[in-house]
Amino acid sequence: MTLEIEQFLHSERLPHIWCAGCGIGIVTGAFLRAAVDLGLKREETVVVGGIGCSSRAAGYVDLGSVHAIHGRALAFATGIKMARPDFTVIVVTGDGDGAAIGGNHLIHACRRNIDITCILFNNQIYGMTGGQLSPTMELGDRATTAPYGQAEPPFDLCRLAEAAGASFVARGTAAQIRPLEKLIKQGIQHPGFAFIEAVVPCPTEYGKRNKPASAVAMLDEEKARSVSKSKAATMSAEELADKIVTGILHRDVDAPEFQRTYAEMAARATAEAAERARAEAEQGAAAEAAEQAGQEED
């Protein structure tokens, strides 16, 4: 661990809560390196987490942090960003916290295209509360709430985010952490809503019910299944069936960002109110002058 990373880490809270082999710590380290490289300032950066294994990352970073209620991390982050547009706001959430109970907040944050970075850790399961299925679990996989296999089609969260209006959408894996670290940096620098899906292994709850079971094997599989966006463009639908497409999947630097749009609307409203006040003052002055002229004639 470098001294630079330690400036943004609550090292006194180590060892961390995550299970051996969990990918969340790997991605949290990538975020910390990105924060150092970008020169983020502690007093101008806020990390917001909800509830779940992934959201515990907010408690280990020595930055401004908020541990919000389940599924509401993006709602809290939106309020913070609107109150302090100059702050860098990052949300750390999971596939349960961010796409199940928090799914509605996710699509509306994308729709607004507010300048927040959302890092969503996708381990396809509820790791903290007993191994229930999540909206990203693949068909046939098992969970405590799907003992005979998942029967519901999973969300492709990156496609969902793009369709909802996010102007930066990317995906990476814990098995290829340096490219993911670069994606996190690019997401934070992007002037709009940045959605970054981080595919991570859960050897404890997911692994004991599905293959591969070990953390190393899960990371190896992630790497073997990963293909870049450029390579995916040359592959057929059948070839892509079990692949993890990585990289920047969508970017639009010209999309209107919510705070700027809101500020423009507020400026128009202020100008219109001032114009109404001026017109009313002129009308009042004219009426008063007419009344005074009438009194002089009498």
Q: What is the pLDDT of residues 262-283, one digit of tens each?
A: 999 999 999 999 999 999 998 9
**CATH topology for the 3-256 domain:** Rossmann fold (3.40.50)
Q: What is the pTM of this model?
A: 0.92
Q: What is the pLDDT of residue 2?
A: 56
Q: What is the pLDDT of residue 72?
A: 96
Across the chain, what does the average pLDDT equal?
Answer: 93
92 in Cβ contact with 67 (< 8 Å): no
Q: To which H or E segment does residue 67 belong?
A: strand 64-67
> If 0-12 CB within 10 Å is exposed, 13-18 middle and 19+ buried, where does residue 99 land?
buried
Count other C-beta atoms under 10 Å from residue 228's C-beta: 11
pLDDT band per the 50, 70, 90 thresholds, residue 291: confident
122-139 pLDDT, tens digit per residue, is 999 999 989 999 999 999
Domain residue spans of the chain: 3-256, 257-298
172 in Cβ contact with 132 (< 8 Å): no
DSSP β-bridge partners for residue 67: 49
Q: Which amino acid belongs to residue 142?
A: R
57-66 pLDDT, tens digit per residue, is 999 999 999 9
Residue 295 has pLDDT above 90, yes or no: no
Please tell me the distance from the alpha carbon of residue 28 to that of residue 21, in angstroms, as a whole number. 14
pLDDT band per the 50, 70, 90 thresholds, residue 86: very high
162-212 pLDDT, tens digit per residue, is 999 999 999 999 999 999 999 999 999 999 999 999 999 999 999 989 988
Residue 149 has pLDDT above 70, yes or no: yes
Residue 1 has pLDDT above 60, yes or no: no
31-81 pLDDT, tens digit per residue, is 999 999 999 999 999 999 999 999 999 999 999 999 999 999 999 999 999
Residue 294 has pLDDT above 80, yes or no: no
DSSP β-bridge partners for residue 251: 168
Please tell me the distance from the alpha carbon of residue 41 to that of residue 279, in angstroms, as a whole number. 47
